[in-house]
Chains A and B, each alone.
Chain A
Amino acid sequence: MKITPKVTQSFAWCICWIAGMTTIAFLIIIVGYVFVNGIGSISWEFLTTNPRGGLKGEGGILSAIAGTVYLIILTLIIALPMGIGAAIYLAEYSSNNLFTRIVRFGVESLAGIPSIVFGLFGFALFVIALGFNFSILSGSMTLACLCLPVIIRTCEEAIKTVPVTLREASLSLGATRWQTITNVVLPAAIPGIVTSIILTVGRVVEETACLYVTMGGSSNMPTSIWSNARTLSLHLYYLAMETTAINKALATGVILITIIIILNFSTRWLSNRFISLYQGNGGK
């Protein structure tokens, strides 16, 4: 057979199909394996009892759920105002000068720093130097630093998408720049801000390395922000590495993947809605 461009093309198409299907296969294998082997261990009792510790990893995941929720709330309280503030600067106030370049460099570099380096920093600063010990507070301070670039980028995009005409209308009515931002621009950018919140929640749920060295990992029910605690991801790690309860680790994996799927669908839904809002469909 002669190797014509047509033959090469069919061959290349084959490789592309194989590559695409392999990528999908990875996802199906991972999600499928975790669900098939983990879903059987999920019960009401599993969700509503605390882990009892020990080598057999008995008990449920209630305190890990509580730890995750505490951490999400506290991280958002710390990071969201800072992130939105920075996004307002980048979208509304920045001009092409050295300061803006420094700000952009900061955001982009921070986004690439590995989780464990944040952990190292959080351990040295929050756990030791500031004396927060291993606690939800130390964990959420560390996570807030880690999540900041995500919030800034998403909110900046959202604020930039708000039409200039809205701003001009507000300014022409005599509103100050700040009044325009708080009363006109930010309300219009709310879907984008909500997206950034969901992305942050996702990061909190999936992060492990930086929390491993700042949160302590106690399996007790957290009572305050000073409590030593664990998240669902951390709980999965402890179950897999330090106990024989692999089925419970898989069940925790099912919960984690389900949360991530729900979060991903909500961001998709929101961004579609946001796009249609400013393309004249009135969000319908």
Chain B
Amino acid sequence: MASIIVAGRKREFHRISDSFWQYAVYIFGASSFLILFLIALFIVREGYPAFVKIGIWQFISGTTWDVADNIYGILPMIIGTLYVTIGALIISVPLGIFTAIFLTDVAPIKLRSAMRPAIELLVGIPSVVYGLVGMLILVPIIQKFGQGSGDSILAASIVLAVMVLPTIVSITEDSILAVPRSYREGALSLGATRWQMIWHVLIPAARPGIIASIILGMGRAIGETMAMIMVIGNSIIIPDSIFSSARTLTGTLALELKYAAGLHWNALFATGVVLFVLILILNSIGLIMLHGRSK
């Protein structure tokens, strides 16, 4: 009799714990969204006063960022980020796409399986190591053959190109591999050479994925911080050549956040809001393109 009661209690316990955990995992599931919401809430709350006092348009189009005079405009940083990102993509997009084709259709099998861990390693190397190597190899070369100190948009673009390369290669590779086999066979049976098949059939079919890889790579480029600080010189000027020093949006945040107060503090968070919105838009476009493909 007693054992029946114990068994009943045990079953009751498991039934209650089952429904308890069901609610618990719903809360855990919501955690990412909650964090995203909290991030948005905090940076908007702290950045909002800057938008009000300075004016959104004034803030974005202002060419002076001067902590001593309490004037905050982020145009130089927007242009700096833009130049560096475009520079990085000019190098990494063609390189990435051809490397992806190399991996899917050209390289011998053994080389392919050796290259994948290599590309994974490129993802894993800390950004400060990229920055360090850029500082020690690239900057002196640019100083010697270009103009100025070597800390420049060119150096930052090249470092960034290497950093976004894995993103572009791996997503492009996946989307080329996802093209149905029948497309390949159809093209080849019509007498196309393998390259004609790649260029006229595979690449167009994989285009949404390739564009997504570029957009996601762009998001990564805009968000990169430490490696940029190390090779770009960080002067707050509107850069006039690729040898010019510049500053990125992210660099400003990292360099000034720890000692900011008052309007300066608000202006930094407002910069964070600009960055946050920009990245959210870019990534959403990229992900929609990727998912559109898989359906």
Contacts and interface: CB of A to CB of B under 8 A. Distances in A.
A19 B169 CA distance: 11
Most buried by A among B15, B107, B125, B250: B125
A233 interface: yes
A283 B196 CA distance: 42
B195 A9 contact: yes
Contact of A13 (B28, B119, B136, B195): B195
Contact of B118 (A27, A123, A206, A249): A27
Most buried by A among B102, B124, B127, B129: B129
Interface string A9-27: 1001101111110111011
Interface stretch (A144-152, A160-168, A189-197): A144-152
A24 B99 CA distance: 10
Given A5-B196, A20-B103, A179-B14, A26 B162 contact: yes
A105 B98 CA distance: 31
B56 interface: no
Given A26-B122, A240-B131, A120 B43 contact: yes
A124 interface: yes
A114 B226 contact: no
Interface in A216-267: 233-234, 236-237, 240-241, 246, 249-250, 253, 256-257, 260-261, 263-265
B165 interface: yes
Interface residues of A, number: 91
Interface string A86-111: 10111011100001001101111110
B32 A26 contact: no
Interface stretch (B33-41, B68-76, B180-188, B236-244): B33-41
A86 B32 contact: yes
Contacts of B118: 23-24, 27
Contact of B224 (A6, A26, A114, A264): A114
B230 A33 contact: no
Interface stretch (B59-67, B141-149, B215-223): B215-223
Contact of B127 (A124, A208, A263): A208
B99 A109 contact: no
Nearest to A209: B225
Contacts of B89: none
B83 interface: no
A119 B42 CA distance: 12
B275 A117 contact: yes
B32 A116 contact: no
A240 B135 contact: yes
A47 interface: no
A94 B225 CA distance: 36
A113 interface: yes
Interface in B102-122: 102-103, 105-107, 111, 115, 117-122
A114 B257 contact: no
B18 interface: yes
Contact of B31 (A86, A118, A253, A260): A86
Contact of A30 (B130, B219, B250, B254): B130
A65 interface: no
A28 to B, nearest CB: 9
A263 to B, nearest CB: 7
Contact of A19 (B46, B95, B229): B95
Contacts of B58: none
B126 A208 contact: yes
Contact of B165 (A13, A17, A26, A117): A26
Contact of B42 (A107, A125, A261): A125
10 contacts: A103-B29, A108-B287, A110-B32, A117-B275, A120-B253, A125-B38, A149-B32, A206-B124, A209-B254, A260-B125
Interface of A: 5-6, 8-9, 12-13, 15-20, 22-24, 26-27, 29-31, 33-34, 37, 81-82, 84-86, 88-90, 92-94, 99, 102-103, 105-110, 112-121, 123-125, 145, 148-149, 152, 176-179, 181, 202, 205-209, 212-213, 233-234, 236-237, 240-241, 246, 249-250, 253, 256-257, 260-261, 263-265, 268
User: Top 5 nearest A-B pairs by Cβ distance?
Assistant: A114-B223, A85-B28, A106-B33, A89-B29, A19-B98
